[in-house]
Each structure stands twice: as C-alpha cells, then as structure tokens.
Chains A and B, each alone.
Chain A
C-alpha cells in the first residue's frame, strides 16, 4: 500500500497558485525527498498534507484514506511534522514535559509520564531535560524535542521540513543519524523537504526535484549519487552543490 499519494495537486495562497498539478506516490516505509530552491513550493506540499495549507484542489491520500482540507484528529495519529526552525517550534513557556505530554492529553492516552521518559530516551535526550524550558536547550536539543513530540502519537508518516538547515554541521549529523535510526526502528515513512542534496543521499531512497511549483524530475537516490540526473535544472542544482 502507498503511504502517501498526491494526485493533480494544485495549492494556492490567496490568489497566487504556488503548486501546479503535482502527482506523487510514496510507498510505506519509503524515504522520499522534495528538493528545490526557496519558492519552489516544496514546503507548501508538506503543509497541505498536514492540513495547514487548506486552499488546495486535487487529491491527497494518506495510508489509504483521503485527506480533507482541515487538520483532523484521526489524521494526527497517521501524519506528523517536524519544522525547520527549532527556535520557533517549541512553546517558550512550556517545559519539555508539557510539550511532549500535550499530544497524549489531547488523545486521552494514559501513562504520560512513562511515555515521555521513554520517548526522551529514544531521541537521545537525558531525563534531566524533562522539566527544562526551551530557552535552556541548544538548537540540536530542541530539534530532538520537536522530533520526540512528532513521534508521541506513533504516526506512520513523518513530514520533515528542512529539519537540519538551522543547525551546525556536527549537530546536523547527530539529528540525521537519529532520524535514520528512528525510521529503521519504527518503520516510518519520511517525506523530507530540503535544498541540501547530500542529506538526500544520506537519508532518502528517492527524490523529486521541484521548480516553480512543478515537479521537474523524479529519480532514485542511486542516480543522484552517480550524478545521473537527467533534467537540465536538476543537473544545475547538482553542479551548484558540488561546486561549493
């Protein structure tokens, strides 16, 4: 079964259409990357799947169920999202414990304390962090908390919006390792948005290159590693990455 299918997806913000007729299907357990420059519409697709960009037409199917245009409780146990900015994605007045317990409280799940501690361990955070406030954490630690929060409801699909672009190289490596391990352990499906091709090589199985709201090319990561992308724009991106 496909974890995620997009059919003829058009997304608009107000009067401007930012995504044009995107078709995509991602198998369960697959790790798929959307690659492109800012303004290419790649993040917008994630937001539409999550329900945060309600102005779309076409069809979005998650784990066999058609998505409505809103955020829904039942969907929240299937799909979760990790945001780009670890400094903006945690409530400044809530402890880590409160942030992680919140999804459980919403869904009436018991044993919150134990689950929070288990999840902290799973994302490699010491128990000492449980009652800290976000401003007492570094960027990498915050991103671990954000990942933990997304995993609290045991979703099948994780939407990752540039999860490491705000982090230092060495912290990025830790987070990438963590994501890879969690995916392996929990059989997650990833849809990763990034502009960084080496990250795709490390973390993903397939990728789609986007430009101006359209998919230019869908390729295997093996093709990316071998430098065998076909479309001129994809090759341009690849060249820019290798150049620096």
Chain B
C-alpha cells in the first residue's frame, strides 16, 4: 500500500531517519539479544549493501510470514519429520523391512510391534519407516522431472505464441484430456512394473498442468514493460525466458507442485496397490495397503497403518502448499 509511506518515501536527500532508527533500542539489552537483533536488523535492512543481503532478507521475510500460519508450520513439521525418517531409517526402524518371522504373523499392535505385523510376520512400523524413503524418492523425482519440463514448455509456448504455442499446447491438451491414473497405468503397463517406471509415468502425466500454469503466467508477464525494457536493451529470448520470466513463474509453480505432491503420493500408492508400482518385497505404502486388503476385516492394522502414513504426508504437503501460496502469491507481493 502506497498510503503513508510515500510521503516520506520520496526523500532523495539521504536521511538518517528511516529504517536505521528502529534498531537502536535493541542494543541495550544483553549481548545475546543484541547479536540476535543485529542479525535480524541486517536481514530486514531497508538498504541492503550487497546482492546476498538483499536475497537473504527476502527469504527471511517469506520465512517469518510462513511461521505466522499455524497450519503451514504443521505441514512443514510433517515434511521435516518425513525427511528425517527417510534419512535415519536404518537407525529408527527396530526391525528389518523385509525380514520375515512366520511365527509372529498378523500380530496386533503391541509394545514389541507398535503397528503390528503383516501376513509374513514383518514389522509394519519398520516397513512404514523404510517406505518413507521410497515415497520421498518418488515425490522428489516426479517434481524434478515434471516441474522444470512443464515450466519450460509453458514459458516457451507463452513467450513465442503463434504456431509454437499451438503445437506445444496441442500436445499438452492431449495429455491433459486423459485421466491421470489411467494414463500412468497405460505407461507403466507398456514400460513394465517397477518404481522407476512408475516415476516416469507419473511425471509424464503431471507436467501438462504445470505447462498450462507457466503459459498463463508467461502470457500476463510477456507484455510487461520490464520485459520490453530488457528486449530494448538487446536481450534475446533465452535470456528473457530463463532470467526474467521463469523467476516470476517459479513461485506459483512451487505452490502448485507442493499441493500436487499429495496427488503424486496417492497415484504412486494407487499404482503400487494395483501391483504396477513398487514390487514386493519393497515396503511401498500403496503396495502394503494392497496386501493388507485381504485381511482388512480381521486384521485392520495391516492396511490401515500405511494408509495413515499416506494421509498424514499428503496433508503435510497440502498445508505447506497452502501456506506457501499465501506467502509467495505474486499478487500480494510488496504489501508486506
């Protein structure tokens, strides 16, 4: 909002009144506080003195805003726990993920087996923990393949327009018109079951949505005066797309990808459930539910425990995505 700020804002004469004055009171209370406050003041400085400080300050502002929303904090914590679990699986998991113990088949949750055991006597808790690695791998690989692909195709289509746009968006529309899971199914069926193929299949089905977003965003940015100014300075299309258009698309892309992660997990689980994703004995959550289905009435925990894991992680991504949307939305930029 311009109100109020611009009255003082047009000071061309250097003035010591602005910004710097706020920090002074902080230096009176204790050394530790002082150090904290100077870092904060450095980050929030009105006039950063280096490129690095300017971008660090921006990141800090985004981060503090994110912390104000309890749901996004919850989402962040869930994702953090997921990351830690995946990284520390060998140390956290009390049993092996694949070690069978036929004497203890289908045991209900107990002190020894927190989530019970499955039909081969494997500890479900350990399998869920090891499964987090698989889920995380799928999610990350899908994001790394589909988001940049969609981003570039969309930005190129939007920037050049004309027949480039028609061809690229035609292809995008063909992919978009098919239901995601069915398309993924077809690809996996053709490529053969397995995690890698599942990742490829999911990535192939999810880039078109990103391409659409990137194109729409590019269309609104393409004729902006700051883009024209770079054109007038002699900047070519590659520089314009990569350095000026893509940075503005990324925030909406990060939001969308985070929100879609829940869907990716579910699709991966779905493929695992049908038997086209991860193959036994890999502890993939979807595949685990599929195995547990047979006993769902008598031994509910076999299918339910990995189900919980899927729901919690999906929710985590959703919450985080929602929070990111509030913070990164370019329309709210500059108000804070």
Chain A in direct contact with chain B (Cβ < 8 angstroms)? yes
Give chain A's interface residues, CB within 8 Å of chain B: 50-52, 71-73, 76-77, 79-81, 83, 85, 88-95, 97-99, 102-103, 106-107, 124-126, 128-141, 146, 149-150, 152-153, 170-171, 174
Of the listed residues B14, B49, B230, the one surrounded by the most CB atoms of chain A closer than 10 A to its CB is: B230
Shortest CB-to-CB span from A188 to chain B, Å, is 16
Does B6 lie within 8 Å of A103, measured CB to CB?
Answer: no
Does A88 lie within 8 Å of B51, measured CB to CB?
Answer: no
Asked if B235 CB lies within 8 Å of chain A CBs, one says yes
Q: Of residues 40 to 59 in B, which have CB atoms within 8 Å of A's CB atoms?
A: 46-51, 53-54, 58
How far apart sit A83 and B224, CA to CA, in the bound complex (Å)?
A: 11
Shortest CB-to-CB span from A71 to chain B, Å, is 5
Does B10 lie within 8 Å of A171, measured CB to CB?
Answer: yes
Shortest CB-to-CB span from B138 to chain A, Å, is 31
29 A-B pairs with C-beta separation under 8 A: A71-B232, A73-B234, A76-B233, A79-B232, A81-B232, A83-B228, A83-B229, A88-B225, A92-B248, A94-B244, A95-B51, A97-B54, A98-B51, A99-B226, A102-B233, A103-B234, A107-B233, A126-B12, A128-B46, A131-B47, A132-B47, A137-B9, A138-B6, A139-B2, A141-B10, A149-B233, A150-B229, A152-B233, A171-B10
Question: Do A52 and B50 contact each other (CB < 8 Å), given the known contacts A92-B248, A139-B6, A174-B12?
Answer: no
Does B235 lie within 8 Å of A102, measured CB to CB?
Answer: yes
How far apart sit A103 and B47, CA to CA, in the bound complex (Å)?
A: 23
Closest to B15 in A: A126
Shortest CB-to-CB span from B237 to chain A, Å, is 11
Does B10 lie within 8 Å of A129, measured CB to CB?
Answer: no
Further 9 A-B residue pairs, CB within 8 A, beyond A52-B231, A106-B239, A133-B58: A51-B232, A79-B232, A92-B248, A93-B248, A97-B54, A103-B234, A131-B47, A139-B2, A139-B6
Chain B interface, number of residues (Cβ within 8 angstroms): 34
Does more than half of chain B's interface fall in helix, strand or loop, or is it mixed? Answer: helix
How far apart sit A7 and B100, CA to CA, in the bound complex (Å)?
A: 88
Partner of A132, one of B48, B229, B234, B235: B48
Asked if B247 CB lies within 8 Å of chain A CBs, one says yes
Of the listed residues A79, A102, A137, the one surrounded by the most CB atoms of chain B closer than 10 A to its CB is: A102
Give chain B's interface residues, CB within 8 Å of chain A: 2, 5-6, 9-10, 12, 14, 46-51, 53-54, 58, 224-226, 228-235, 239, 244, 247-248, 330, 333-334
Shortest CB-to-CB span from B132 to chain A, Å, is 34
How far apart sit A79 and B229, CA to CA, in the bound complex (Å)?
A: 11
How far apart sit A93 and B233, CA to CA, in the bound complex (Å)?
A: 18
Closest to B58 in A: A133
Does A76 lie within 8 Å of B232, measured CB to CB?
Answer: yes
Question: Do A90 and B226 contact each other (CB < 8 Å), given the known contacts A73-B234, A76-B232?
Answer: yes
